[in-house]
Structure 1
Amino acid sequence: MRLVTTPRVTALRGLADALAPRVGRGRMIVAVDGPLRSGKSAFADDLRDVFEEAGRTVFRARMEDFHRSREAQAAFGADTPERYYRYGFDESALRRVLVEPFRMGGSTAFVTRVFDPVRDAWVEPKWRSGPEDAILLIDGRFVLRERLAELWDVGLAIEGEPTDAADRIAYAARDPRSIATATVDLRDPLRPVVAYSD
């Protein structure tokens, strides 16, 4: 379905075209990082729509849906921004039920959501499958951290300085903008500005 052309959609189409050689064919994963309330989820949703407009099969996932429970986080000590940055997400589940089976192509089903952080409860897994040529588009805080970065084919970073304490810890350890394929300035969300790394 053809999207209504707006400055935001035009910018996203340009980004999708620029990423086409990197995304290629087969199973590819695009990750969008950015500080709290930076607009990364809405941006990833719109990028999905643009990829789908171009005829690609796209699956969406969010790091928010791979949280550890509050009880599981408590096993790592007091509730601090440092604990949240280091142990807030179940990266083992992310790898085991999403990334690794997705990478296996059409032969293996995968899950895009395992946890509801609002209810602090596991959700019934919905196993999904798709064609050999598909894109997984995931957004969330800390997705471009060093221990996860090798999972993604393309890394995008939303511009913005961290204001949340956990984000400041993450950016001090590794600023996602320094290693991203491209950065996206959403100060005017209707007119994103994309800058590509060398």
Structure 2
Amino acid sequence: MRVRPISPELLVEELSERLASASPGEWLRVAVDGPDAAAPGEMADALVAPLRARGRDVLRVSARDFLRPASLRYEFGRHDPNAFYDDWLDSGGLLREVLAPLDPGGTGKVLPSLWDPVRDRATRARYVDVPPGAVLLLDGALLLGRWLPFELTVHLSMSAAALARRTPQEDAWTLPAHERYEHEADPRHTADVVVKMDDPRHPALIEDLG
């Protein structure tokens, strides 16, 4: 395995350059995937300004705004790791409202959020028109292996030990779901870009898994 240490700032610059030059004139759907401990939302947020500075419009969407209602998420209890893996994300809603409209020849009309998991009710967000050439930055956990259409995927990878160490105790019940994800979705081999984030202050690009 070849690993290239990189500063957080240079990582954002390299990713921004790659995304900005990809699919010019077309929508670019990008997944920034990783456990909460790896802060995929922060990474996606950090890419917005550099992409806009390079002339690409950006739409930020978070998978946490496309969770299923509590009655479905908690059908088997609040701390069931298999339900967390299989049932929490409304993949159909995410596909219908965000990803499919950005298919080639799509409408470009996207609903940026669907469900408020805290208030457990629809967000009542308004549809937005995404111009051709814009980049969709979608952050979330356990996104890969669901047959969701992305032009580029970034996986923020953590070792099991680092993930356990950096996951709050109240969320430790999710760890078996992430272990299952590593085995079933194999994100380190399927993502286009893999970043080792055992210590977010010192990331490293995994360039060759061997």
The SS at the match of 1:43 is helix
Q: Distance in 2 between matches of 1:39 and 1:152?
A: 20
Please name the residue that 1:182 is paired with.
Answer: 193
Please name the residue that 2:146 is paired with.
Answer: 147
Count, aligned residues: 189
Deviation at 1:62, TM superposition (A): 0.9
Using a 3 Å threshold, how does the CA distance of structure 1 residues 110 and 67 change in structure 2: closer, same or farther?
A: same
TM-score (norm 1): 0.84
Please name the residue that 1:8 is paired with.
Answer: 8
Using a 3 Å threshold, how does the CA distance of structure 1 residues 148 and 106 change in structure 2: closer, same or farther?
A: closer
Deviation at 1:181, TM superposition (A): 0.9
Deviation at 1:19, TM superposition (A): 4.1
1:170 aligned to 2:168? no
1:82 aligned to 2:82? yes
Identify unmatched segments of 5+ residues in structure 1. Answer: 1-6
Please name the residue that 2:172 is paired with.
Answer: none
Deviation at 1:107, TM superposition (A): 4.1
Kindly, what percent of the aligned residue pairs are identical?
26
Using a 3 Å threshold, how does the CA distance of structure 1 residues 36 and 168 change in structure 2: closer, same or farther?
A: farther
TM-score (norm 2): 0.79
Using a 3 Å threshold, how does the CA distance of structure 1 residues 36 and 130 change in structure 2: closer, same or farther?
A: closer
Q: Distance in 2 between matches of 1:169 and 1:139?
A: 20
Deviations for 1:146-182, whole angstroms, at most 9, x for unmatched residues? Answer: 2234x11101111202442221222221221111111
Deviations for 1:95-154, whole angstroms, at most 9, x for unmatched residues? Answer: 11111113356844111111111222221122101211111010111111x2234x1110
1:92 aligned to 2:96? no
Q: Distance in 2 between matches of 1:173 and 1:53?
A: 37
Please name the residue that 2:159 is paired with.
Answer: 161
